[in-house]
Amino acid sequence: MTTLIVDDDPFVIKLLTRQLTSLGVTGIDGQTDSSAALTAIADHLSAITLLFCDLQMPGVDGIEIVRHLATLGYRGGLVLISGEDARILNSASELARVLKLNVLTALQKPITVAHLADVLTRLAAMPTGTPPAPRAPRRSYQGDDIAQALTRGDIIVHAQPQVSFADRHLVGVEMLARWLHPQDGLVFPDQFIAEAEAAGLMDGFTQSVLQASLRAAAGWAALGLHPQISVNISMDNLISIGLVAMVETELNRVGVPASQLTLEVTESRVMQNEAAALDVLLRLRLKRIGLSIDDFGTGHSSLAQLRDLPFSELKIDRGFVHGASHDPARGALCSASMRMARELGLSVVAEGVEDQNDWDYARLVGCDIAQGYFVARPMPPEKLPAWLTDWNAQR
């Protein structure tokens, strides 16, 4: 077993080490430099069973470490420590729990041996074989299968409506890829996207999805419907040379105006490759294509990074919207994201609006647009007009 203590105060590390040793704990490591700690955590992830993390540190702070732990899929026990008031500690541990980390407890300094004895009891009681990291891909499909699906045109799209909080009118639709598999039926992207990326198929995949989405848009336009069309693109697409030209060609082919298209990029991925993505993002934006930062709250963007990237919209991740009304940590993240977006002049989509409470809360904090089961589930494009008639009848 390895225990890691991350605290910028060497005295705290020394004291905790002595106290833990007196309780029979061996293999204790301390780290005063938080960015060096991040590297150590990434390198020894599976060996670390217990991690103490101070919240206030210069440079990389405790909250950033918590986010990294979640991204890495850390499965050991976590103890948050702080000299600050209990409220900050509580909301930090709520955040860590939302991110599915095993938070044993949150301790206010000074820490006593009795506190640590309690930590060890909780650690021993922690269920082993806890669920794997949430984003572990299910590798049930091979690159060859996906390549074949692309050739055969088996990749289709479903449309999920987005409506305005202010007057409930239809603003846009997110086009979600589905694989109409000859044996397995409708296969969702989380079951094959990782494989498609690994096989270098994302350019072809995104082009198929874009084509299907724009065909749907042209069909709706013939009925007088012109919702904003949101299509997810991957980081692979953004750093490939041909994206801008491909998007323009497809728009021209169906006669959909560039300003009716929004491309969504996942926050965590774009921030890892900020420099590489920037010029493509700028060129897309110059052509009046909307750019949306997707799953916001799951990465760790700073206001400065966001300001440097030419986004027009921000989508708050479902994890910080659904249930936010009765969960202070989610609520805090939701409203903090809102303030950030306002400062940057971005329009804000709340994802995961699944019930009346989510709707009321996201509306209250000032989100512009709602997406989620409370509005509608994703549907085949041809069903959208009928759904809209029903929806408008209820308005």
Residues binding Mg ion (CB under 5 A): 232, 264, 294
Q: How far is the CB of 212 from Mg ion (least distance, A)?
A: 16
C-alpha to C-alpha distance for 214 and 210, rounded to whole angstroms: 6
Q: How far is the CB of 266 from Mg ion (least distance, A)?
A: 8
Q: How far is the CB of 295 from Mg ion (least distance, A)?
A: 7
Q: How far is the CB of 284 from Mg ion (least distance, A)?
A: 16
Q: How far is the CB of 231 from Mg ion (least distance, A)?
A: 9
Residue-by-residue DSSP string for 210-257:
HHHHHHHHHHHHHTT---EEEEE--HHHHTSTTHHHHHHHHHHHHT--
Closer to Mg ion by CB, 294 or 368: give it. 294
> Strand pairing partners for 291?
263
Closer to Mg ion by CB, 256 or 265: give it. 265
Helices 328-343 + 86-98 axis angle, to 10: 90
| 94-104 residues labelled b (16+ CB within 10 A) or e (exposed) | bbbebbbbbbb
Closer to Mg ion by CB, 68 or 269: give it. 269
Burial of 89 (0-12, 13-18, 19+ CB in 10 A): buried
Q: How far is the CB of 350 from Mg ion (least distance, A)?
A: 13
What size, in residues, is the chain? 395
Pairing of strands 28-31, 2-6: parallel
Closer to Mg ion by CB, 89 or 173: give it. 173
Closer to Mg ion by CB, 247 or 329: give it. 247
Closer to Mg ion by CB, 232 or 298: give it. 232
Coil, strand or helix at 158: strand
